[in-house]
């Protein structure tokens, strides 16, 4: 197969932990050809298909100079067997426009994973609203009064912007309400921006678990991201420590319930975040943790993903 990865600049990859790199490595190991572009390299012009200025690459196996560029060219996305959208968040206006270009490529015959429309339809914070049976007390609002009411009811809460990533902009406010007004002003910008507020889940001390769902099925191991010291944020980018664990019965229940629904919508890969027994987010843009799980358990998540990709293309 010929596989095109639309991703961040190759030179920015941290190959010891990068999930897109793990996908590329497994694809090449199976004899598939790998190309890469950035979303800004994708173009459409009337009378022609959606194309990208891309780099054909070969992975070298070297830790530093990890790829060799074997050529550059402009090619139509429909001429690839699969196009993998692996651009990291944020899901900003340019990401949004890229999904429309990718959807046009689909109309021309390209096979894109995750499906562009599904990426737009599943904002990572708001996607949980569809599954209230699996989430804790949650509020989405622009209203400062609504947030204060929610705090009065639940006492210990987490506030976060809907477009944040990597732990950016996450705040915890305890029963004393310290700095609640200032935090509301920072996040909702005088009612101009929506905020997600959730009851604080003390089970966070055991980690925020990333449950990966591939082809509608949960991976047998999750990565529990554990906050360090006084930090409330668990994200690895914010200093959290990742520990791979077998799925609990509840984790598996969640993965098996959500997996077929997400897969049917064109989400070949999703990362469901679980604290205790509650889903907190559903990540669909560029889910990670493949290498951390493999390094600690031997479960080859990249192989499971390429298996699912090959099956989806049959």
- As annotated, the active-site residues are 125, 160, 210, 225, 233, 273, 281, 283
How many of the other CB atoms lie within 10 Å of CB of 294? 17
CB 234 within 8 A of CB 207: yes
Residue 212 makes CB contacts below 8 A (sequence gap 6+) with 218, 219, 222, 269, 270, 271, 272, 287, 289, 290, 293, 301
Cα-based distances in Å from 282 to 89, 131, 135, 199, 262: 13, 10, 11, 17, 10
Q: Which of 233, 89, 237, 235 is nearest to 171 (CA)?
A: 233
Specify which residues 279 forms β-bridges with.
274
* C-alpha–C-alpha distance, residues 228 and 226, integer Å: 6
Terminal alpha carbon distance of the chain: 11
121 membership: H or E segment, kind and range: helix 116-121
- How big is the chain by its Cα radius of gyration, in Å? 20
Residue 284 makes CB contacts below 8 A (sequence gap 6+) with 114, 118, 119, 122, 124, 127, 262, 267, 269, 270, 271
Torsion, CA 49, CA 52, CA 55, CA 56, rounded to 10: -20
CB 257 within 8 A of CB 282: no
């Amino acid at each position: 197969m010929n596989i095109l990865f639309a991703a961040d600049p190759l030179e920015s990859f941290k190959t010891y932990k990068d999930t897109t790199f793990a996908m590329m490595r497994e694809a090449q190991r199976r004899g598939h050809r790998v190309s890469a572009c950035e979303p800004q390299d994708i173009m459409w012009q009337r009378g022609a298909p959606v194309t990208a200025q891309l780099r054909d690459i070969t992975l070298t196996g070297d830790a530093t100079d990890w790829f060799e560029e074997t050529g550059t060219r402009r090619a139509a996305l429909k001429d690839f067997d699969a196009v993998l959208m692996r651009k990291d968040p944020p899901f900003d206006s340019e990401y949004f426009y890229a999904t429309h270009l990718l959807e046009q490529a689909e109309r021309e015959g390209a096979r894109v994973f995750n499906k562009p429309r599904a990426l737009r339809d599943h904002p990572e914070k708001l996607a949980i609203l569809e599954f209230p049976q699996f989430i804790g007390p949650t509020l989405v609002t622009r209203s400062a009064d609504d947030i204060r009411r929610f705090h009065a009811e639940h006492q210990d809460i987490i506030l976060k912007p809907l477009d944040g990533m990597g732990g950016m902009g996450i705040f915890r406010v305890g029963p004393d309400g310290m700095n609640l007004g200032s935090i509301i002003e920072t996040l909702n910008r005088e009612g101009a921006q929506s905020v997600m507020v959730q009851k604080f889940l003390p089970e966070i001390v055991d980690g925020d678990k990333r449950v990966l769902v591939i082809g509608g099925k949960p991976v047998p191991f999750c990565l529990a991201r554990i906050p360090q010291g006084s930090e409330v944020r668990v994200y690895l980018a914010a200093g959290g420590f990742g520990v791979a664990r077998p799925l609990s019965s509840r984790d598996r229940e969640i993965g098996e319930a959500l997996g077929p629904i997400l897969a049917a919508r064109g989400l070949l890969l999703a990362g469901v975040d679980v604290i205790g027994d509650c889903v907190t987010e559903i990540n669909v843009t560029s889910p990670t943790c493949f290498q951390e799980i493999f390094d600690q358990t031997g479960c080859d998540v990249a192989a499971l993903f390429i298996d699912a990709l090959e099956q989806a293309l049959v």
